[in-house]
Structure 1
Amino acid sequence: MKLDDNLLKKYAQVMVRYALNNGEGINKGDTVFLVGQECSKDLFMAIAKAVYAAGGNLLTHYQPNNIRENSLARFLLENGSDEQISFFAKPYWQGIVDATDHILFIIAEPDIHVFEGLPSSKISMMNSARAPYMQMREQKEQAGKLSWSLCLYGTPSMAEEAGLTLEQYWEQIIEACYLREDDPVAKWKQVQQEIEDIKDKLDALAIEKLHINGEDVDLYVQIGKNRKWLSGGGKNIPSFEIFTSPDWRGTNGFIRFNQPLYYSGKRISGVSLRFENGVVVASSATENEDALKEMVAQENADKVGEFSLTDKRHSRITHFMATTLYDENMGGAFGNTHIALGNAYKDTFTGDMATITEAQWAEMGYNSCPKVHTDIISTSNRTVTATLSDGSEKVIYKDGEFVLGES
């Protein structure tokens, strides 16, 4: 399947003129680190040209397709020593972060099951080796000197996993990203403003805790002090979610998820979690439960780093897409609710992040887990009731929509 050149150019414009720089687009002289696999070459090239056209500079990490019969990562996992699998070239990656103003990842899986049959522990070892890179990025981002974004390039493997034809899969991408609009950048700015209005109403409520209730969930989430709600603001394309990083210590109850997730190259379905005082005390899955338990066993990956809601009125995504970027933004009949186990987003803090010590982050209940931030999603119906600082309660979300304008 070859994408229409006009759609490719619009997609690139959305990423360069809107998504990067937290929804503002890049400035002349900015440096973009562009990451993609060879299967995404046409979009990779369109974005690269758009960066140059905007007056930016480019660093690239263009990778061979990661497929089972010719995957360097799989070869390493099957044949490498633990020292090789956990190798991390700190000076190289520190140099990339130092030289970069924006990072743009093109998500494309030419073989979504490339690590099938490999031990989860080995894959976790390889993933964990990149934790220092994430910390470098986080530190620069907190200083307000780095932005990042993600976008999706559909492949036959991903479409098959989602139960769609490649044309149907790309139709979801085109609709979700507003690529048929005459000016998709302007459309994104309009939608983002609508989402910001909802976010502002949530912040004004001074919510202390949430009760999420439905057939497959009875969960309490403590928001914590000095928190604000965030929206994608260009950090993901598409992004319709509104989220915060709660005080992990106040999560209690159970939740089951009707959407699968992918971790360590494995599909994990039928996930169920039970929390006591913020910690996962029971976890199960109907498919690849060993991978779920391997993930939860990582240090602090048994605690919540994010709670999120998506209003179905904004999202045009109507189908499971076998990638978190889309599945966590699904609209459909009831929007979606998701939580992430692992690392918290410190930019949900209402003050100056640069002045806060690690001890203070811990005191406020921000979970620290650089190795893991895994979103787990459910699209079933539920009602979210907020307890406010004055002790009153207010339903803020039901039937897939925020209801903040209602009494």
Structure 2
Amino acid sequence: MKSFDLMLEEYAKLCVKVGINLQPGQPLVINAPIEGADFVRLVAKQAYEAGAKQVHVNWNDETLTKLKYENSPMEVFENFPKWYADGLEEFAKDGAGYLSIYSEDPELLKEIDPKKIAANNKSSSMALKEFRKYTMNNINSWCVVSIPTKGWAKKVFPNVSEEEAMEKLWDAIFKATRMDLEDPVKAWEEHIKNTEEKVKFLNEKSFKKLYYKSSNGTDLEVELPEGHIWAGGGDYNSKNTFFVANMPTEEVFTMPLKTGVNGIVYSTKPLNYGGNLINNFKLTFKNGKVVDFEAEEGYEVLKDLLDIDEGAKYLGEVALVPFDSPISNSNIIFLNTLFDENASCHFAFGKAYPTNIKGGENMSDEELEKHGVNNSLTHVDFMVGSKDMNIVGETKDGQKVQIFENGNWAF
């Protein structure tokens, strides 16, 4: 059995070699919790050994974040610092890869005024709009991973000590990212190949519509735009370098036609958004737009999310994930979208990835709009998959094909 230190080192190597696939002379920008300093140093070491020009780290600290929300006036949250956005864009122009270590306490801001959170989400989305074109258009390589933090681990495993919770979460992350296998890099190569087979099938079929049904009440029709592209596993940046944007990743995804979503969908896992949980919610769509919604927990947070802009009320992503998959089979609710979205079929509110439509990365916002591509300041995934979900695809000539049966791939 591998030692913890060996798996940690291999995980850092995986982030650099597979996630970002860092090339000699390329800068690496890391966003990370201060609790993860030791792991970040391992990543930096791997990056420099791979020939990184420089490694720049943007640290975040949850204690300081909470103090800021408790004490700073509203104007601070309404005005995102331009220098920060400019710095990220400057690195992007220099060809940097972006590694985000997403490990927040899902209830960090539970007691905070939701209007402050909403203001910060909106101002940051506006300030980072230009920078996000580099990642959402796959101009630069980017990757999101996670490591345990004490606040997050205790929320996932509340009935054990802090130390044991950290150990259990590390174990779950290592298994989900295939670190426990003898050759993780080879295992990832095989996994990506399997995912690409699903992508190929869906792209060859070029479905016009998808029909979702579950016993929980989900009954949704999703139209796909002409020229849509399914993706999954990994992708190529503008320099034709292959990278893997999410680790773990189990999804195959595309975009819906902005105005082509009709019916009702129920969430099946909690959504961690802005330090708050939104749970057990129901959405009603008409001509693509959310026209009604309910939530047992986090109703106001969901309302603020949908009010970021008009595009937030429409969908930007359609993702298929089998119920019988490593993360789902762990029976752990991670309260972290990176993991929970890869345990469940999901959609995303807001902006679509331009790379999910033919020629989209070279289209203007106006051209994308004409092709039925949703635009928004936000992009937030939420989980809808269940063990009895059935999804049927309809081709342009009216042929019906079973895509998912009882929560899993039907082909």
TM-score by length of 2: 0.89
Q: What secondary structure does 1:249 align onto? A: coil
Distance in 2 of aligned mates of 1:352 and 1:268? 32
**Which residue of structure 2 aligns with residue 307 of structure 1?**
318
Displacement of 1:79 in angstroms is 3.0
Give yes or no for the alignment of 1:263 onto 2:270.
Answer: no
Give yes or no for the alignment of 1:80 onto 2:80.
Answer: no
1:294–1:92: structure 2 CA closer, same or farther, 3 Å change rule?
closer
1:378–1:157: structure 2 CA closer, same or farther, 3 Å change rule?
farther
Give yes or no for the alignment of 1:327 onto 2:303.
Answer: no
Distance in 1 of aligned mates of 2:215 and 2:102? 33
Give yes or no for the alignment of 1:200 onto 2:207.
Answer: no
AA paired with 2:53? N
AA paired with 2:315? V
312-321 vs 47-56, greater mean Cα deviation: 312-321
**Which residue of structure 2 aligns with residue 123 of structure 1?**
117
Q: Is the 8 A contact 1:76 1:85 kept in 2?
A: no
Give yes or no for the alignment of 1:367 onto 2:363.
Answer: no
Give yes or no for the alignment of 1:345 onto 2:356.
Answer: no
Displacement of 1:160 in angstroms is 2.6
**Which residue of structure 2 aligns with residue 28 of structure 1?**
24
Distance in 2 of aligned mates of 1:312 and 1:259? 13
Q: Is the 8 A contact 1:39 1:108 kept in 2?
A: no
AA paired with 2:111? G
Give yes or no for the alignment of 1:379 onto 2:386.
Answer: yes
Give yes or no for the alignment of 1:114 onto 2:114.
Answer: no
Displacement of 1:172 in angstroms is 1.4
Displacement of 1:131 in angstroms is 1.5
**Which residue of structure 1 aligns with residue 142 of structure 2?**
148
Distance in 2 of aligned mates of 1:43 and 1:145? 27
Q: What secondary structure does 2:228 align onto? A: coil
1:382–1:145: structure 2 CA closer, same or farther, 3 Å change rule?
closer
Displacement of 1:211 in angstroms is 0.3
Q: Is the 8 A contact 1:278 1:304 kept in 2?
A: yes
User: Residues 147-166 of structure 1 correspond to what in structure 2 (within 5 A)?
Assistant: 147-163=141-157, 165-166=165-166
Q: Give ranges in structure 1 of 5+ residues lacking alignment.
A: 331-335
AA paired with 2:280? G
Q: Is the 8 A contact 1:340 1:375 kept in 2?
A: yes
83-92 vs 250-259, greater mean Cα deviation: 83-92
Distance in 2 of aligned mates of 1:146 and 1:231? 17
Distance in 2 of aligned mates of 1:322 and 1:259? 8
Q: Is the 8 A contact 1:258 1:380 kept in 2?
A: no
1:207–1:153: structure 2 CA closer, same or farther, 3 Å change rule?
same
**Which residue of structure 1 aligns with residue 405 of structure 2?**
398
Q: Is the 8 A contact 1:38 1:62 kept in 2?
A: no
TM-score by length of 1: 0.90
Displacement of 1:113 in angstroms is 2.2
310-319 vs 281-290, greater mean Cα deviation: 310-319
Distance in 2 of aligned mates of 1:197 and 1:268? 34
Give yes or no for the alignment of 1:45 onto 2:41.
Answer: yes
Identity score, percent = 24
Q: How many residues align?
A: 387
Q: Is the 8 A contact 1:34 1:58 kept in 2?
A: no
User: Residues 267-306 of structure 1 correspond to what in structure 2 (within 5 A)?
Assistant: 267-299=277-309, 300-306=311-317
Give yes or no for the alignment of 1:94 onto 2:86.
Answer: yes
1:374–1:90: structure 2 CA closer, same or farther, 3 Å change rule?
same
**Which residue of structure 2 aligns with residue 8 of structure 1?**
8
AA paired with 1:326? F
